[in-house]
Amino acid sequence: MRVAVIDRDVCRPKDCGRACYRFCPMVRNKVYAVRFEEGEEKPTIVEPLCTGCGICIKKCPFSALSIVNLPEELEGECSHRYGANAFKLYRLPVPAPSKVTGLLGKNGIGKSTALRILSGESKLNLGEFAEPPDWSRIIRRFRGSLLQEYFTKLSRGELKTVHKPQYITRIPQLLKGEVEEVLERLDERGKMRYAVEVLELQELLDRPVEVLSGGECQRLAIAAALCKEGDVYIFDEPSSYLDVRQRINAAKAIRSLLGEGKTVLIAEHDLAVLDYLSDQVCLFYGKPGVYGVVSPPQGVRAGINIYLEGYLPSDNVRFRDEPIRFHIKPPTPSWVSTKPLFQWSRLQKSYGGFSLKVEEGAVHEGQVVGVLGPNGIGKTTFMKMLSGLEKPDEGSVANPEEVSVSYKPQYVSTDYPGSVEEFLRSSAGEEFDSPRVKSEVLAPLGLEEFLERDFSSLSGGEAQKVAIAACLAKRATLYLLDEPSAFLDVEERLAVARIIRKTAETWGAAALVVEHDVIVQDFTADRLIPFSGTPGRNGYASSPTGLREGMNSFLKGLGVTFRRDPSSGRPRVNKENSQLDRRQKALGEYYYVPSSGE
């Protein structure tokens, strides 16, 4: 089945004279496949009449329409649809008692929709958005499956759900008072002290919620969910804004719910965290913003490997052209110029009771250097000193040549009063029209589809991709990117990693990337700068070092080891005090596992 889909944020019928309607062959036959309802500015595709001829796509000057293939065999399995020509979700994840069910898929593919349905916040309509079915029809639809009992209890109010939402930046508007007061007010299970300890919230207890950072809000949201009484606990992207240590601690806290027989669902883009947390996974595939299909539950290792391979045997569907692979050993560095491209002396910076010391270092042509460390340890301050936005108290950033720097900040503002294209042009200048930018930056990030949209209307993930493009589209000697994977899904994160490496190679430039996702660092970096110290008090950064040495130094401070999956090569977190964990710690190899011959 082929269906036309409208991106209503891009469609501008007044500017094109409704070309999609005027040229539709069905209109000539007085059968309105494309029509404008009275009082509506945007067109509507009448799906039973649309032949999928593609004429409307060719005539639309804004690329607001597309033709997509929907799997016909799933037409009877539609779980939810938002409206005419709107997103459609096929099937649902199946929660399992006393297990963590992970959801893995692209952004805009239906994960948050599925979680809202399972939490009871949205009532599924089985695709009948005009006349939604009642609970009896919904329950009858899922008879014979675990979802029948689930929705029966949910409809009767016998199932209490606790939902940790995706966007935790709204928490300061929702919760008022100091952190301790908020947790005491929400503590229905007597778990406040445990949550405070495992999530390291002791120093935040006397702070007002409105002054918390993104990572602090995330930990507060997880703690609040753990304190509330429920049967089903739902966590939507719990690792956002958290550093590696905090992600592992959050995973341990969430898994503690299983000891009480709770059912847990989690949507997560950090593969290492998802692997560590989950007992089973449901994969989402399809066309973002158009339709999503949920796979049957898979074993966590097999499910993640299927996702990386891009082929789902149970549905006989290939949803990615090429599999994703990781290097088992540190990559052999290619030839590197002996002449530094950018260097700095020993730096010191102090303010507000915090002090940072950075050892001297340099980056060379074609290098990508990863920056790893806890939150509040000085990584962003270091990047700002290299960019020239802040001056060190001691030391200097010395450029052996005329060096231009392009900087992507940690937090992306959407206050720009223009379109995405205007924003990118203001940053990249004439370089924006070059074939390189279109083929190596815009296309891999999928930005060509919404260049006409207002920058202020973008979601967090869309704004992040535009900010990355603005940084990398500019021709520079040094590229600085602070947490580029925030809000991005797995494939977008790996696409960004490829673009960073390609940009550095193309221009003979260098890049420094602050990133908490260890797998993304593994995919991106040639060398590492590990940060250590006490968050909020003092930070220390070494000179750039090799991947093996840098990972060992960083992970040793966390007491965490990784093994490698034999099929895909992806890093997997070892269970604490497992046989492999103890062996690797004894060898001093926390990340790249030595073979038997080494």
- What is the chain's Cα-based Rg? 25
**pLDDT higher for 53 or 531?**
531
Residue 71 has pLDDT above 70, yes or no: no
pLDDT band at 105 (very low <50, low <70, confident <90, very high): very high
pLDDT band at 386 (very low <50, low <70, confident <90, very high): very high
pLDDT more than 90, % of the chain: 47
- Dihedral (C-alpha) 546, 551, 557, 559: value to the nearest 10 degrees? -150
Q: Which two tokens stand for residue 262?
A: 């709770």
Q: Is residue 328 domain-resident? A: no
**Going by C-beta distance under 8 Å and a sequence separation of 6 or more, which residues neighbour residue 187?**
227
Residue 527, beta-bridge partner list: 369, 546
pLDDT band at 173 (very low <50, low <70, confident <90, very high): confident
Question: How many domains does the chain fold into?
Answer: 3
Q: What is the pLDDT, as a whole number, of residue 595? A: 58
pLDDT band at 111 (very low <50, low <70, confident <90, very high): very high
Residue 68, beta-bridge partner list: 3
CA angle, 121 then 141 then 106, to 5°: 55
Most confident residue range from 58-72, 221-235, 559-573: 221-235
What is the 3-state composition of the chain as percent helix, strand, coil, each rounded to the nearest 5?
40, 20, 40
Q: What is the pLDDT, as a whole number, of residue 594? A: 61
Lowest-pLDDT choice from 168-172, 340-344, 560-564: 168-172
Q: What is the pLDDT, as a whole number, of residue 449? A: 80
Rounded Cα gap, residues 368 and 291, in angstroms: 36
Lowest-pLDDT choice from 191-205, 342-356, 362-376, 583-597: 583-597
- Dihedral (C-alpha) 177, 116, 300, 222: value to the nearest 10 degrees? 0
Query: Are 365 and 292 contained in the same domain?
Result: no
Q: Are 65 and 6 in contact (CB under 8 A)?
A: yes
Among 69, 94, 112, give the residue marking a domain's end: 69
Reduced to 3 states (helix: H, G, I; strand: E, B; else coil), residue 559 is coil
The pLDDT of 60-86, averaged and rounded, is: 80
* Domain hosting residue 493, numbered range: 342-558
Residue 163 has pLDDT above 90, yes or no: yes
Among 318, 334, 369, give the residue marking a domain's end: 318
Q: Is residue 332 domain-resident? A: no
Q: Look at residues 41, 245, 574, 23 and name the one whose alpha carbon lies nearest to residue 33.
A: 23
> Position of tokens 């997103």?
87
Lowest-pLDDT choice from 31-35, 232-236, 400-404: 400-404
Q: Look at residues 131, 87, 74 and name the one whose alpha carbon lies nearest to residue 113.
A: 87
The pLDDT of 157-180, averaged and rounded, is: 86
Rounded Cα gap, residues 236 and 519, in angstroms: 20
Rounded Cα gap, residues 586 and 573, in angstroms: 16
Q: Is residue 582 domain-resident? A: no
Query: What are the pLDDT digits (tens) for 303-351?
Result: 999 999 989 988 888 888 888 877 665 555 554 556 788 889 999 999 8
Q: Is residue 591 domain-resident? A: no
pLDDT more than 70, % of the chain: 95
Residue 46 has pLDDT above 80, yes or no: yes
pLDDT band at 597 (very low <50, low <70, confident <90, very high): very low
Sheet strands (E) in 203-279? 232-236, 263-267
**pLDDT higher for 105 or 576?**
105
Q: What is the pLDDT, as a whole number, of residue 333? A: 52
Q: Is residue 327 domain-resident? A: no
Q: Is residue 22 domain-resident? A: yes
Rounded Cα gap, residues 497 and 225, in angstroms: 33
Residue 170 has pLDDT above 90, yes or no: no
Q: Look at residues 156, 486, 563, 531 and name the one whose alpha carbon lies nearest to residue 373.
A: 531
DSSP class of residue 589 equals: -
Query: Are 410 and 469 contained in the same domain?
Result: yes
Among 284, 302, 318, give the residue marking a domain's end: 318
Q: Are 61 and 46 in contact (CB under 8 A)?
A: no
For 160-172, b/e burial (b = at least 16 CB within 10 A) is ebbbbbbebeebe
Q: What is the pLDDT, as a whole number, of residue 329? A: 59
Query: Are 226 and 83 contained in the same domain?
Result: yes
pTM over 0.85: no
End-to-end CA, the chain: 55
**Quick one: how far is CA 91 from the chain centroid?**
23
Q: What is the pLDDT, as a whole number, of residue 399? A: 63
Q: Which two tokens stand for residue 448?
A: 């060509």
Residue 196 has pLDDT above 50, yes or no: yes
Rounded Cα gap, residues 65 and 61, in angstroms: 10
Mean per-residue pLDDT of the chain? 88
Query: Are 63 and 116 contained in the same domain?
Result: no
Rounded Cα gap, residues 480 and 457, in angstroms: 26
Query: Are 495 and 543 contained in the same domain?
Result: yes
User: What is the enclosing helix (H) or strand (E) of 339?
Assistant: none
Q: Which two tokens stand for residue 80?
A: 């939810």
Query: Are 273 and 369 contained in the same domain?
Result: no
Query: What are the pLDDT digits (tens) for 431-465?
Result: 898 998 999 999 999 898 888 888 888 888 888 99
Query: Are 63 and 101 contained in the same domain?
Result: no
Q: Is residue 249 domain-resident? A: yes
Q: What is the pLDDT, as a whole number, of residue 214? A: 79
Query: Are 387 and 310 contained in the same domain?
Result: no
Give the count of beta carbons closer than 10 Å to the beta carbon of residue 540: 17
Query: Are 244 and 359 contained in the same domain?
Result: no
**Quick one: how far is CA 280 from the chain centroid?**
20
Query: What are the pLDDT digits (tens) for 237-254?
Result: 999 889 888 999 999 999
Query: Are 254 and 143 contained in the same domain?
Result: yes
Q: Is residue 330 domain-resident? A: no
Query: Are 61 and 85 contained in the same domain?
Result: no
Rounded Cα gap, residues 16 and 412, in angstroms: 33
Query: What are the pLDDT digits (tens) for 477-495?
Result: 999 999 998 888 888 998 9
| DSSP conformation letters of 343-365 | EE--EEEEETTEEEEE--EEE-T
Rounded Cα gap, residues 169 and 511, in angstroms: 29
Residue 223 has pLDDT above 70, yes or no: yes
- Dihedral (C-alpha) 529, 534, 537, 542: value to the nearest 10 degrees? -20
Q: Are 381 and 538 in contact (CB under 8 A)?
A: no
The pLDDT of 56-77, averaged and rounded, is: 78
CATH assignment of the domain containing 34: 3.30.70.20
Query: Are 88 and 64 contained in the same domain?
Result: no
CATH assignment of the domain containing 307: 3.40.50.300
